[in-house]
Amino acid sequence: MSNSLINGLFFSAIVNSNKSIQRYTAGMTFNEFAQNDILMKAILYDFVVIGEAVMNIPSDIKSCYPQVPWRVIGDMRNAIAHEYFQVNLKIIWNTIQNNLPELIIELEQLLQNETRE
């Protein structure tokens, strides 16, 4: 598989997981989210998938897109994966509501750019 195809798969995984999170939480309140254990775990898993994909994207590609908070995304993945009992659901919810919509737009554009090359 070519590097651009592999990178495209990582970007697709990021976009798809972001969209899944948005779909799962559409019209939901924080309390509904925090009380739905199955949904919460599915969303946390999607955040881990996003972080894993980000950590596999080459640094030279990341440096072309400094507006994307690559390190923050990777750090969130690490916090969820390694500090599971200390995950702050309010931070997760805030990220879902305030950061993911914009991130999806940026990453879809990035995906188009990277798969064209």
pLDDT-derived band at 116, boundaries 50, 70, 90: low
Q: Which domain holds residue 58?
A: 3-116
Note the pLDDT tens digit of each residue in 13-42. 998 999 999 999 999 999 999 999 999 999
pLDDT-above-70 percentage for the chain: 90
pLDDT at 104 over 70: yes
Confidence at residue 89, expressed as pLDDT on a 0 to 100 scale: 94
Residues 6+ apart with CB under 8 A from 48: 77, 80, 81
What is the predicted pLDDT for the residue at 5? 65
Number of domains in the chain: 1
Catalytic residue IDs: 77, 82
pLDDT at 49: 96
Of the candidates 90, 97, 92, 88, the residue with the CA atom closest to the CA atom of residue 73: 92
Say if CB 116 and CB 8 are below 8 A apart: no
Query: How high is the pLDDT of residue 6?
Result: 67
Instruction: Count other C-beta atoms under 10 Å from residue 18's C-beta.
Output: 23
Q: What is the predicted pLDDT for the residue at 78?
A: 93
Mind listing the pLDDT tens digit for each residue in 49-68? 999 999 998 899 889 889 89
